Amino acid sequence: MAARRPLPTRRRPSDEVDWKHVGLRRTPQREVVLDLVRSCDTHPTAEWIYRHARQALSDISLATIYRTLRILKEKGLIWEFSGGANPSRFDGTSHVHEHLRCISCGLVADIDLEDVRDLRREVSERTGWTLGRWPVVFHGLCQPCATRRAAVRQAAEERGPGEPGASSGPEDDRDLCGGFW
Amino acid sequence: MAARRPLPTRRRPSDEVDWKHVGLRRTPQREVVLDLVRSCDTHPTAEWIYRHARQALSDISLATIYRTLRILKEKGLIWEFSGGANPSRFDGTSHVHEHLRCISCGLVADIDLEDVRDLRREVSERTGWTLGRWPVVFHGLCQPCATRRAAVRQAAEERGPGEPGASSGPEDDRDLCGGFW
DNA sequence: CTGATTGCAAAAGATTTGCAACCCC
DNA sequence: GGGGTTGCAAATCTTTTGCAATCAG
């Protein structure tokens, strides 16, 4: 274990965790990963977390990132959004909220919805499933993707028939918009 | 191209597709894949589709299955549920309906929910996203997984503290319950 | 101390892609 | 006939795993 940049002195999300009760040993790696996921609202990928974690723990490995994310998820401390062939994104579950996921660029956004509580109960009663506090995910297009897609579709229609559901991946979005579908 | 078992003479889902308008050439491979996804309600994986497609088209390749699924998805003819490190599952979108996905075994179930229509509009207005007819996915535990998990948790608590969110993969579920989380 | 955790490198999957042969329109 | 499609095999990419060294309690 090499360079370990002094971590911020202000209170960190990982301080709030009762590690012993959760059944996990408290390590710098786990603290950094949890803090990264909990403190940013960008729903980062494992790769992004890896890059940023290295700024604090220079020799943390990608394997540890994945291992830690999986464990934190299993303990219910964070939530994962699977992304098909593309990387998963993670969310620090601090309070109950729902999600929007863009089917074009994979962006995940949070939203608070009071009304969903009743809906969960209804669904649970009708199906026998346990819906607890797990998120409800709406799928659709974020504004940039909707705009881009509309442009593409119009161009296609001017060229001739076909392409009713033309898709277009994200062109820019260098950092966190990996592209899901 | 070899053995091509006589396909069922009854009307098939793929007959309803206006291939030319969609902008795709009509091929036996595409018909079989679309028919399989549209005619079963089990939300199959690519692998499952491959195994079954071979019964009609003995030398169809897995690459074609994936390519076709991707294309059909891009054209809006089917819907994909990403599964992290685990295989995606597909759904033939015939009418608007919502989904339940088990966070333990990955099972996907359909459910009709009138009330969701208003909710979509509300979310759309509040966020500016385009939610169209894309599905809303509830996450939770299917009955078998909920039962199994409760048992595991109880056993853990009898042994001592910790394990508040213990996870357990599917043990049986040979055919279609791949395991997501 | 002692078992849990980590890094490293290699493995495992799922999905994609290059390319020549082939088939639908 | 010609360009869209397919099969095959190899490549890619994300995530997991085996194992010896190291660390937390």
Supply the CATH number for residue B4's domain.
Answer: 1.10.10.10
Give DSSP secondary structure letters for chain B.
Answer: ---BPPPPSS--GGGG--HHHHT----HHHHHHHHHHHH-SS--BHHHHHHHHTTTBTT--HHHHHHHHHHHHHTTSEEEEEETTEEEEEEE-SS--EEEEETTT--EEEE--TTHHHHHHHHHHHH--B-TTPPEEEEEB-HHHHHHHHHHHHHHHHH-S--TT-----SS-TTT-----
Judge whether residue A125 has pLDDT over 80. Answer: yes
Q: Between chains, do A162 and B20 touch, taking CB under 8 Å as contact?
A: yes
Is the pLDDT at B170 greater than 50? The verdict is: no
CB A106 within 8 A of CB A167: no
> Would you call B124 an interface residue with chain A, using a CB distance cutoff of 8 Å?
yes
Q: How far is A32 from chain B (nearest CA, A)?
A: 21
Cβ distance A165 to B141 less than 8 Å, yes or no, reads: no
Only one residue has tokens 């996907």, namely: B108
Beta bridge partners of B91: B79
Domain boundary among B94, B127, B148: B94
Beta-carbon contacts of A66 under 8 Å, excluding residues fewer than 6 positions away, are: A46
pLDDT tops 80 at residue B63: yes
Predicted local distance difference test score (pLDDT) of residue B137: 87
Mean of all residue pLDDT scores within chain B: 75
| Residue A108: its H or E element | strand A108-111
Residue B103, token pair as written in the block: 């966070």
Mutate to test the interface with B, among A113, A129, A147 (most CBs of B within 10 A): A129
Which residue range is the domain that position B144 belongs to? 95-181
Chain D bases having any atom below 7 Å from a protein CB: 4-10, 13-18, 22-25
Say if B26 is an interface residue toward chain A (CB within 8 Å): no
pLDDT at A113: 82
CB contact under 8 A, B134 and A83: no
Decide if A4 contacts A61 (C-beta within 8 A): no
Q: Which residues on A lie below 8 Å from B100 (Cβ)?
A: 123, 127, 129, 131
Provide the pLDDT for residue A118.
81
User: Which chain A residues are within 8 Å of B162, Cβ to Cβ?
Assistant: 20-23
- Count how many domains chain B has: 2
3-state secondary structure of A156: helix
Same-domain pairing of A51 and A100: no
- The dihedrals phi and psi of B91, each to the nearest 5 degrees, come to -140, 130
A123 contacts on B by Cβ (under 8 Å): 100, 111, 113, 138
- Of B94, B129, B163, the residue at which a domain comes to its end is B94
The residue ranking higher by pLDDT, A46 or A163, is A46
Least confident of A2-11, A96-105, A171-180: A171-180
Q: CA dist A164 to A149, A180, B74, B177, Å?
A: 11, 20, 9, 33
- pLDDT category at A175 given cuts 50, 70, 90 is very low
Q: Are residues B57 and B123 in the same domain?
A: no
pTM of structure: 0.70
Q: Are residues B101 and B90 in the same domain?
A: no
Residues B84 and B114 in one domain: no
Distances (CA, A) of A19 to A112, B43, B98, B123, B164: 28, 38, 37, 36, 11
pLDDT of residue B22: 87
The answer, yes or no, to whether residue B51 has pLDDT greater than 90, is yes
Query: Of A67, A94, A121, which closes a domain?
Result: A94
Assign A151 a pLDDT band (cuts: 50, 70, 90): low
Q: What is the pLDDT of residue A163?
A: 33
Lowest-confidence segment of A70-74, B56-60, B141-145 by average pLDDT = B141-145
- Using the Cβ of A180 and the Cβ atoms of chain B, whether some distance falls under 8 Å is answered with yes
